Structure 1
């Protein structure tokens, strides 16, 4: 027997509240991270723009919620094709900034197609897995290899087009979404172990090429990417060059200690020592001014947000909806881990935004659409008093 609930009743208000908390943290961090670094602008310039982006994001989130997610199956292939066309347009006609060609300019507005391609890839892979799981298949190495091959065939082209922009961070996000879908596809752990071994072998090969065949290595890894790795491995070795950003970020976070130095009181935050403080390194503001306690609160909010999404995926009695939510979880988990990891020296610097916190338009809008998809799945999940719909 089905329990009928309205869309409002099934709306996950806990998830929305956690999103609102992240918005508040974002505005505080952006305000503090820009007041002294951009003295030629009004103190609230970036905050006001971020509020506008949040407002647009809420509209897009509501739009993503308004269409029955089953309809996404009809749009997944056309959207994926549009995404590939946009990535090709970036390659041939894109605007170059800071040594990377990642943007397209339309009417004076710059946007980054690779951000929206993340969503298109999730929709396409969820659709692919839905069709795969609807067809009975044997548990064999060959069948598992076919499934992985199909996932790589969908995710591989955007991965490489984004990688050559170059945008290693976003390419790795696409890779994380593909890995999430592989885990959700039901392939055996033996196959997953083999894939892990292949990735480890690939990394080992790069290390060997770097140490003994650097000319070949230099053709695979760009020099600016290698410089980031050098700065990550030894930030104190070149505090005025390769390790400058990470060195000062670590100093700032360390200075925050337990309770932080206070809102707008951070020495590094207000001293202008850290570039891109309101975007890529916004976690430094939180760590320095709110300390370990503030950083922990942020991590708890993220954990609860992701936990709610995982529960929505578990409770969904439609495999397509489950795959959609799983893709979003994989998307957010990697971005959170990578951004915070690079800020505290655990990961190389890749330029990924911290979801819902960093200043910016394209990344924020993408993440808001992703949340809309998750809420969409939740409000359209049917609940039964006795068992589930088979």
Structure 2
């Protein structure tokens, strides 16, 4: 017997609450970052624009909840086609900024970054692919697992490469993380997963060997600015005058925050203008310096709780397509959170990924809120039964 609940009753209010808390943290951190000496406009103007983006994102998140997510299966192929078309369009007609060709539009009037929306389209396409693969029982053999992995790679590799050549390593790795989480969700053998991880590590080892023995060939694969970032990551203090400048001062700022922080709009590094892109890529520095280890920990706990709720929605959903959609969103957010915080504290190289729901910006924020809308969509349409799931 099915328990009947209205969509409002099934809406996950705890997830919305955690999202609201992140919005509040974002506005506080952006105001502080924009109060820095490097900005010549009032900090309130940044906050006002961020509120507008939150409002737009909320509307689109609501729109993503309205249509039954089952209907997305019918649009997965067209959406994938749109993704490839937009990325090819960027390649030939994109707007170049700071050596990267990632945007399309009219400079100074309206521009957007297609790769941000491609993330959502890829999640939908991957979820539909996995639904088709797992709809019928398949033999638990290595051959069958290799076929599944091959299909996932065939779908994800074209957008991955098109984004990589923009160049946009950070977003390309996000697509890679979505592919990886889908491989896990497909239930392939642990040996296959271990092999994939070994291939990635082997690829990194091969690049290091090329760097040390065939640098001219290596430089054709890794661009000079990307290599400079790697050098800066490995030793920020030795590259303070170059690519290491940003990371070096960010680490000093985070260290200065200690346990309780220096106080709101009181960060020495944050307010001195020493850290470029403070309100976007390095917003975590503001939180860690001005609110200390406690403030940074609270932020990470909020992220954990948000992701935990999403994982629980995926587990309780009795529709495999819905579970795959939520898993894709979890993969999307986990990698971005890890990468942004990791690059800020020097654990991983700088890639320019925004901190979800906290960094200032439009395209990334709207994309992440649409992704949350998909999760809520799955949740409000999950059917609960008193005596097990419906067959």
Partner of 2:332: 331
| Equivalent in the alignment of 2:13 | 13
Please list every run of 5 or more consecutive structure 2 residues that lacks an aligned counterpart in the other structure.
Answer: none
1:296 alignment partner in structure 2? 297
2:237 corresponds to which residue? Answer: 236
Question: Which residue of 1 is the match for residue 248 of structure 2?
Answer: 247
Q: Whole-Å Cα distance in 2 between the matches of residues 119 and 345 of structure 1? A: 29
Deviation at 1:36, TM superposition (A): 2.5
How many residue pairs end up in the alignment?
390
Pairwise mapping of residues 134-283 of structure 1 onto structure 2 (< 5 A)? 134-283=135-284
Contact 2:34/2:42 (8 A) holds in 1: no
CA distance in 2, matches of 1:11, 1:71: 20
RMSD (Å), alpha carbons: 0.9
Q: Deviations over 1:21-67 (max 9, x none)?
A: 00000001111001133543122111110000000000000000000
Quote the Cα distance in structure 1 between the aligned partners of 2:328 and 2:266: 39
TM superposition score normalised by structure 2: 0.99
Secondary structure of the residue aligned to 1:290 is helix
Q: CA deviation at 1:12?
A: 0.3
Equivalent residue number for residue 314 of structure 2? 313
Distance 2:375 2:181 in 1: 16
Q: Does 1:60 align with 2:60?
A: yes
Q: Output the CA distance in 1 between the equivalents of 2:164 and 2:301.
A: 32
Residue range with higher mean Cα deviation, 141-150 or 362-371: 141-150
Equivalent residue, structure 1, for 2:113: 112
Post-superposition Cα deviations, 1:326-377, rounded to whole Å, max 9, x if no partner, equal 0000000000000000000000000000000000000000000000000000
CA distance in 2, matches of 1:162, 1:349: 17
Q: Give the secondary structure class of the aligned counterpart of 1:105.
A: strand
Q: Name the CA distance, whole Å, in 2 between partners of 1:294 and 1:241.
A: 30
Query: Residue 287 of structure 1 aligns to a residue in which SS?
Result: helix
Deviation at 1:75, TM superposition (A): 1.3
2:76 corresponds in structure 1 to 76
Deviations 1:56-102 (A, max 9, x none): 00000000000000011011111111111110110000000011000
Q: With structure 1 as the length reference, what TM-score do the two structures score? A: 0.99
Distance 2:117 2:39 in 1: 32
Q: 1:170-220: CA deviations, max 9, x gaps?
A: 000000000000000011001111111111111111110011111111111
SS at match of 1:44: helix
Q: Does 2:36 match 1:36?
A: yes
Is the contact between residue 119 and residue 175 of structure 2 (CA under 8 Å) also seen in structure 1?
A: yes
* 2:287–2:295 contact (8 Å) kept in structure 1: yes
